[in-house]
Amino acid sequence: MANADIRNLLQQEESGVRKPSFKWYKTMASKKIIILGIESTAHTFGCGIVDEYGSILADTRAVYVPEKGGIHPREAAQHHSTYGPKVVKEALLKANISMRDISAIAIALGPGLGPCLRSGATIARALAVYFSKPLIPVNHAVAHIEIGKKLTGAKDPLIVYVSGGNTIIAAFSGGRYRVFGETLDIALGNCLDVFAREIGLAPPYIVEGLHVVDKCAEKGEEIIDLPYVVKGEDLSYSGLLTAALRKAKEPGVKLEDLCLSFRENAYNMLVEAAERALAHTKKKEVLLTGGVGASPILQEKLRLMVREHNAELYITPKKYMGDNGVMVAWTGVLLYKSGITVNVKESFIKQRWRLDEVDIPWQK
Amino acid sequence: MAKIDLEINIGKLISKGAEANIYIGKFLGYKAIFKKRTPKPYRNLKFDLNLRVRRTINEAKMLHYARREGIPVPTLFYFDIKETLIVMEFIEGSLLSLTIKDLSINVLKEMFLRAGEIMAKLHSNQIVHGDFTTSNIINTGKELVVIDFGLSKKSPELEEHAIDMHLLLRSLESTHYNIVDYVRDYIIEGYGNIIGVNYSKKVYERMLEIRRRGRYVKERRKKV
């Protein structure tokens, strides 16, 4: 190992991260690193197995689908506890390896829903203790970014991370992903889903690969005036949601027009904030990740915007855009190589673990 | 209405911002900035026109208000709604965001005291800037001049004022993370000098509350 790496490790030791053991150095030198990653921050319980080169050996998931309404945290957690062990077992079977071949367990400790995080963390801790494997603490948002970078080949992108629980525009700078803009209240995915549910379009939320709001908007013609809230590079979606739901009750408002206006507002706000951040940071790459990124309409809007700034748009493959275990495992590989693990006793879940609190030692 | 012939000379493009192209040129003999909001291909056509017109009118109005109250902003020369164009005074200087790293500690202190004061002046006249970041402040050497009023509005509300404060601090946290802890107090101090210490405390408190409202914020738990 190079001197610089060792110096890094010493610094991390001071900052409270567990000191790498002799065993760690030994594994680093001898064996190929294989990480098992567990994701359980929201509705998906995912397990991924990835080797140090980023080859995906297994990717298994179980998704909690609420019968009505949104995610109920307790029910989702019960779902994860029930199906979690099966998903992990299946992943091992698929990768055709045993726990002995696994170098370490990576677990997404946050941000997310408390009960869900807890059930995933319990499984990960149990595995780590029983098989005496190191435990790697992974930030869910970092995992989304890292898998996107790995699969698209983006080097230093402006990151647009949109999902049911997150709407973040970030970029790497000074050892961390710095947040340039984010939602001040609810996330874009949350906003779209609640709107669709309340006006009776959903569930199901996705039909033929399109969100039901996108689908309904296809037939819209008129633009209805709705709040468009961009504050610098920050966004706010709650006002848009309330106003749109209120409009839906008014007589004479065509649902298609409302969907079109709602979607235009929601997406354009995000694209404008991203454009502001792009003009500000002058990055040459933009990476789209997170579940909402699967929307072809949003992708097209971003592509048009990015082209104007002579940058390139990288879109995370659809399969890995939503929550999955592979992204946790891959980020686990990066962390493990940097010597970052956590003591099981201190592996608390962090519901509010911000993206910009995580040191990223593997990027310069 | 009689058509007025204006001696306008749009020169070369100097910057391509997020929402507008900035040209430098001559207006009635004065060196001027031409800010033209261009259509965005990613927006629905009607939506796009609506937004551009609204923002052009808004920016012109706000520049005028701010100028009238003696706040250092570029003088509004002319605007054209059809063309979504604004013509304003050219300010000689450099963007604060670009020069920050060359400033000495003492100058930094002065700068951010002043930035806080300007923000307070805007707020005491019920103007909310909406994008008060170091990229929107020009340092002329003698004075700081605030530009880009595209997202601004008139509002006497504490909430909006706190968001302005949040945006300035956020821009420092993401771009100039090494100085933010040093200058934060000076911004608040400068702000309080103009608008009163009580109000500046209120704005700061509200700003923390706004941050707590966001998703996945650590600070939130303490209060509940």
Q: Is residue B1 part of a domain?
A: no
User: What mean pLDDT is predicted for residues A313-333?
Assistant: 95
Check: CB of residue A192 under 8 Å from CB of residue A292: yes
B118 and B200 assigned to the same domain? yes
B106 and B211 assigned to the same domain? yes
Check: CB of residue B179 under 8 Å from CB of residue B100: yes
B46–A183 CB contact, under 8 Å: no
Distance from CA of B107 to the nearest CA of A (A): 24
Residue type, A96: N
pLDDT for residue B6: 62
- Which residue of B lies nearest to A225 if distances are taken between CA atoms? B47
The domain boundary residue, chosen from B58, B89, B120: B89
Contacts of B216 in chain A (CB under 8 A): 110-111, 165-166, 351-354
User: What mean pLDDT is predicted for residues A101-118?
Assistant: 93
For residue B40, CA distances in Å to A160, A261, A262, B142, B149 come to: 19, 16, 18, 37, 19
Contacts of A110 in chain B (CB under 8 A): 216
Check: CB of residue B179 under 8 Å from CB of residue B108: yes
Cβ burial, residue A266 (10 Å; 0-12/13-18/19+): buried
Model confidence over B195-224: pLDDT tens digits?
A: 999 999 999 999 998 888 766 665 544 443
Q: Which member of B42, B135, B218 has the closest CB to residue A271?
A: B42
Model confidence over B104-131: pLDDT tens digits?
A: 889 999 999 999 999 999 999 999 999 9
Model confidence over B80-96: pLDDT tens digits?
A: 998 899 999 999 999 99
Q: Is residue B3 part of a domain?
A: no
Crossing angle between the packed helical segments A255-281 and B45-68, to the nearest 10 degrees: 60
Q: Is residue B80 part of a domain?
A: yes
Distance from CA of B115 to the nearest CA of A (A): 17
Asked whether residue A242 carries a pLDDT value surpassing 60, the answer given is yes
DSSP A78-125: HHHHHHHHHHHHHHHHHHT--GGG--EEEEEEESS-HHHHHHHHHHHH
Point out the least confidently predicted range of A23-32, A352-361, B40-49, B117-126: A23-32
Contacts of B163 in chain A (CB under 8 A): 184, 231, 234
Q: Is residue B219 part of a domain?
A: yes
Distance from CA of B13 to the nearest CA of A (A): 14
Asked whether residue A263 carries a pLDDT value surpassing 60, the answer given is yes
Q: Is residue B14 part of a domain?
A: yes
The Cα–Cα gap between A155 and A153 comes to 6
B52 and B111 assigned to the same domain? no
pLDDT for residue B13: 84
The Cα–Cα gap between A108 and A253 comes to 44
Other CB atoms within 10 A of residue A250 CB: 9
B118 and B68 assigned to the same domain? no
pLDDT for residue B129: 94
User: What mean pLDDT is predicted for residues B187-193?
Assistant: 94
Q: Is residue B2 part of a domain?
A: no
B164 and B213 assigned to the same domain? yes
pLDDT for residue B1: 43
The CATH number of the domain holding residue B133 is: 1.10.510.10
The domain boundary residue, chosen from B89, B113, B133: B89
Instruction: Tell me the residue range of the domain where B99 lies.
Output: 94-223
B159 and B210 assigned to the same domain? yes
Domains by residue range for chain A, with CATH: 3-144+322-357 (3.30.420.40), 158-282 (3.30.420.40)
Check: CB of residue A283 under 8 Å from CB of residue A171: yes
Give chain A's radius of gyration (CA, Å).
21
B152 and B111 assigned to the same domain? yes
Give the pTM.
Answer: 0.86
Distance from CA of B170 to the nearest CA of A (A): 7
The Cα–Cα gap between B60 and B82 comes to 14
A223–B46 CB contact, under 8 Å: yes
B77 and B102 assigned to the same domain? no
Domain count, chain B: 2
B103 and B82 assigned to the same domain? no
Contacts of B166 in chain A (CB under 8 A): 234
User: What mean pLDDT is predicted for residues A11-20?
Assistant: 55
pLDDT for residue A24: 63
- Which residue of B lies nearest to A302 if distances are taken between CA atoms? B42
Q: Is residue B176 part of a domain?
A: yes
Q: Is residue B27 part of a domain?
A: yes
Helix extents (H) in A2-56: 3-14, 22-30
ipTM: 0.82
pLDDT for residue A209: 81
pLDDT for residue A1: 46
Checking DSSP bridges between strand A135-139 and strand A104-110, what pairing results, if any?
A: parallel
Question: Is the torsion defined by CA of B17, B20, B25, B31 positive or negative?
Answer: negative
Contact residues of B toward A, CB < 8 A: 16-19, 40-44, 46-47, 50-51, 130-133, 135, 151, 163, 166-167, 170-171, 173-175, 177-178, 210, 213-218, 220-221
Q: Which member of B167, B215, B221 has the closest CB to residue A165?
A: B215
Contacts of B20 in chain A (CB under 8 A): none
B216–A173 CB contact, under 8 Å: no
B146 and B180 assigned to the same domain? yes
Distance from CA of B53 to the nearest CA of A (A): 14
On whether any CB of chain B is under 8 Å from the CB of A228, the answer is yes
B134 and B169 assigned to the same domain? yes
On whether any CB of chain B is under 8 Å from the CB of A308, the answer is yes
The domain boundary residue, chosen from B62, B89, B116: B89
B73 and B120 assigned to the same domain? no
User: What mean pLDDT is predicted for residues A316-322?
Assistant: 93
DSSP A261-317: HHHHHHHHHHHHHHHHHHHHH--SEEEEESGGGG-HHHHHHHHHHHHHTT-EEEE--
Active-site positions of B read 131
pLDDT for residue A352: 87
On whether any CB of chain B is under 8 Å from the CB of A70, the answer is no
User: What mean pLDDT is predicted for residues B6-35?
Assistant: 84
